[in-house]
Amino acid sequence: MHLAALNIPDLLISLWRATLNCDANDSKDYWDWAIFRDAEIWKAHGKTVADATPYLPGSFDRPPRNIAEKLTSGYKAVEFLTYLYGLAPALLYGILPTQYWEHFCKLVKAIRLVYQRTVTTDHLADAHTLFLEFAEEFEQLYVQRKGTRVHFVRQSIHATTHIGPESCRMGPYGIVSQFPIERVIGDLGRDLRQHSNPFGNLAMIAQRHCQANAIYHLYPQFRKNAPSNLPNGALPLGDGYVLLRATERTATHTTSPEAAALREFVRSHGVAASEEWLTHPRVARWARLSLPNGQIARTKWREELGFGRLNTIRIARQIKYDGNGSSHFGEVQYFFKLQLHSGEPHKGYAMVSISSEK
């Protein structure tokens, strides 16, 4: 956690702001990477970071605050992660000189690969190559073989070259980092009740956690997404997907593009729909979908009702999905359910406005 979320951000941001010590035989005028040396540009960048908050789903936890105002006021590790490896590649494009931006993107891609919950050996190999290139090019671009800039090369730069091999030995970087350790410490601390014998009590609590985890693996139906633990009105779809309210009590008419998509869909699946329905398709819309990974996707139908409070809403309707052999990005208009054939159960579907293909 400290390497990717604190040490590296501290170094890169200090370079871009030109706040690192400058040797007497060097000059910051030659630091062409110091894009935030101008205080006004730095302030404008901080505002852009804060303005991105509504477009980060709630699953991103704490969104990064205005980094120009809060950098020295307890900026959290998760804020640095989201800022540097989520927002910065886009926000710095066209601002950071091309060679430095491309160098930075190698770090971003490598960190994203190793922070996956599950990571393949091919991804680890790619990440290791990128980390090696990042470390070598850091010296070429920033140090430029000048002894006056040796202090730029902190231990954190070299440490990145060990992340790939260590992930093979220890597991995905995001799981074995400080984050899960601190989470476990917090969970155990909240459960502590017997202060006269805290360590004995802590041992029993840890044992119960292990027993509960074993039961969850043996009987997955006891997990939080089990049907008995779902909120009122939820509709399980299978495979961990659950439709969540709000929902319409009666089916409503769709727009012309949506109606055309529905007609094409039912005809391609051989559905015997009435002529009235084909002429004016009607569906009952659902607002949210719980995903197997615990995230909740929302819809334009409901989120646009909150546009008046855009500073507090966290938009979660932009999705990436696979289809026809390629990846697509789109905006979910709403979710709905249909019974394609008599005797079959209702299945869940999403009305998506496709943005682009990857």
**141 located within any domain:** yes
- Which token pair is 55? 């477009």
**229 located within any domain:** no
**228 located within any domain:** no
Clarify whether residues 165 and 35 are in a common domain.
yes
Per-residue pLDDT of 29-58, as tens digits, reads 999 999 999 999 999 999 999 999 999 988
Per-residue pLDDT of 234-254, as tens digits, reads 999 988 899 999 999 999 999
**146 located within any domain:** yes
**35 located within any domain:** yes
Clarify whether residues 164 and 182 are in a common domain.
no
* Count of the separate structural domains present in the chain: 3
The model's confidence at residue 173, banded by pLDDT at 50, 70 and 90, is confident
**346 located within any domain:** yes
In Å, what is the CA distance from 19 to each residue of 13, 28, 93, 103, 356?
8, 10, 21, 20, 40
Clarify whether residues 240 and 184 are in a common domain.
no
CA 76 to chain centre: 16
**224 located within any domain:** no
Clarify whether residues 210 and 353 are in a common domain.
no
Clarify whether residues 254 and 196 are in a common domain.
no
Clarify whether residues 206 and 252 are in a common domain.
no
**Domain region containing 274:** 235-357
Predicted model pTM: 0.81
Q: How many CB atoms lie within 10 A of CB 32?
A: 11
Clarify whether residues 39 and 150 are in a common domain.
yes
**31 located within any domain:** yes
